[in-house]
Chains A and B, each alone.
Chain A
Amino acid sequence: MLAKRIIPCLDVKEGRVVKGINFVDLKDAGDPVEQAIIYDSQLADELVFLDITASYEKRSIMIDVVASCAQNIFMPLTVGGGIRNIDDIRNLLKAGADKVSINSAAVRNPDFLNEAVKIFGSQCIVIAVDAKKVNNDFFVFIDGGRKAANIKVIDWLNEVQERGAGEILLTSMDKDGTKEGYDLELTKLVCKNSSIPVIASGGAGNVEHIKEVFEIGADAALAASIFHFGEVSIIETKKYLLQHNINVRI
């Protein structure tokens, strides 16, 4: 039986892991390579690595960090942040990423998504959706949450599936870093309307939140702070989930 996945996320800025609240107010959380090795040994199911500064000049630092992480872990690695063109994807895959996560570039030019899928395959292309509730509906935001794309989440979801995306990384901007739990309304909406796997992200504050988001249909749960700051280990999380009849790998 396919297991629900637990995915720790490393938000990386200038070569260091950081963690913010609602996408700002960053706090240092360690060395990415060391963290990646720890998560690999704790049976994390995958690792997501987000370059949150993602400026062109810093790109080479990021490639080096991705390469050192990939060199030391034996689980799937997804890298995102500031991916603008086919060469960016190719360079990250060469450095050892298995999948790339794209947000702004796909919103600005949806044909880029088709092109990427054609060259690298659906399984390699994750669409990151940063969502926020505005006037009672969920909307897509780009540029690290700074800019409204003026597209409803549900419309964007249909479009990216048609264009061949392999997976959705859904982040609630309202819940990100709050530790109040995932946005269940948003996640439910997206899972119900998606024929590709959905990773829920933003808001995990304890193991119960992870259980809740799996119960409403998420295929994978991403969390950062609760794992980084050692509040709970991945193995403890999985044991808790197994006790509550959620199928995870241990």
Chain B
Amino acid sequence: MIAVIDYDAGNVASVTKAIEKAGYQTYLTKDPKTIKNSSGVVLPGVGAFGDCIDKLKKYNLIDSILESIESKKPFLGICVGFQLLFEEGYEFGIHKGLGIFKGSCVKFTPNANQKVPHMGWNTVYYTKVCKLFDGIKNNSYFYFVHSYYTDSDDNCAAKTDYICTFTSASQKDNVYGVQFHPEKSQILGLKIYENFCRMCEETC
């Protein structure tokens, strides 16, 4: 069973729906016990970095998240849920993140041709082999919507070009993170969830 962390962050139901569509069982939960007993954990994210961290604190979820990561079961952060895995975020003030990946998350500066938010379908190219992308061609399109990005290359698995070249996926041991929304990326997005869930099953 895959635990999707429920902390009032936007449209999280679309994440559970995508996991179910990929053929796996999932729970939207903020219960530490359910998270502990899961075979893998997904941290979704829609909203501002600081707000999200505050909500994780409010629901006492930080320890559960860190324990899951230490337990070596697969962990997947999505969008702001990915950004939270870095040391710091600069959205509406400076906020401390979970520090699994080194580096911080900063705001895009728009230019004459490239607007902010970075909104729409953009290509993702690999910088290393990562199981999350099994069976997905290099340079495939995924759906992005964000104004902040990580300027860190720490454990980078894939990059995307928009305004600058930025890290669009990272992976360190059992921890995976993607800046785009697989649950909004049609067939290839479902493939990401299928790959992740398969890893969860293999681990437990």
A residues neighboring B (CB under 8 Å):
1-5, 40, 43, 45, 70-71, 74-76, 93-94, 96-98, 120-124, 166-167, 194-197, 219-220, 249
Contacts and interface: CB of A to CB of B under 8 A. Distances in A.
A41 B181 CA distance: 18
Contact of A5 (B46, B116, B118, B121): B121
B120 A220 contact: yes
Interface stretch (B7-15, B25-33, B55-63): B7-15
A77 B156 CA distance: 30
Given A74-B186, A98-B145, A197-B120, 13 more contacts: A3-B121, A40-B186, A43-B186, A74-B18, A74-B185, A94-B13, A98-B10, A123-B119, A123-B147, A167-B117, A196-B116, A197-B115, A219-B119
Contacts of A121: 10, 46-48
B186 A2 contact: no
A94 B10 CA distance: 8
Contacts of A197: 115, 117, 119-120
B1 to A, nearest CB: 21
Interface size class of B (residues with CB under 8 A): 35 or more
A43 B118 CA distance: 20
Interface string B92-129: 00000000000000000010001111111111000000
A132 B59 CA distance: 49
5 contacts: A74-B190, A75-B186, A98-B184, A124-B46, A167-B119
B141 interface: yes
Contacts of A220: 120
Nearest to A67: B13
A219 B120 contact: yes
Interface string B168-204: 0000000000000101111101100000000000000
A70 B14 CA distance: 8
Given A3-B141, A93-B10, A122-B147, A74 B116 contact: no
Contacts of B184: 74-76, 98
B36 interface: no
Contacts of B190: 74
- Of A40, A45, A75, A121, chain B has the most CB atoms within 10 Å of the CB of A121
B120 A2 contact: yes
Contacts of B47: 120-121
Q: Report the 4 A-B pairs with minimum CB-CB distance, sorted nearest first.
A: A249-B141, A249-B121, A3-B121, A123-B145
Interface string B35-52: 000000000001110000
A196 B120 contact: no
Nearest to A167: B119
B17 to A, nearest CB: 7
A40 B21 CA distance: 14
Contacts of A167: 117, 119
Residue of B17, B119, B145 ringed by the most chain A CB atoms within 10 A: B119
A124 B10 contact: yes
A2 B162 contact: yes
A124 B79 CA distance: 14
A42 B122 CA distance: 18
B146 interface: yes
A2 B21 contact: no
A96 B13 contact: yes
Contact of B11 (A43, A98, A194, A196): A98
A166 B10 CA distance: 15
A5 B117 contact: no
A1 B17 CA distance: 28
Nearest to A4: B120
B134 interface: no
B54 interface: no
B161 interface: yes
A195 B13 CA distance: 31
A96 B16 CA distance: 12
Contacts of B11: 93, 96-98
B143 interface: yes
B110 to A, nearest CB: 5
A130 B174 CA distance: 49
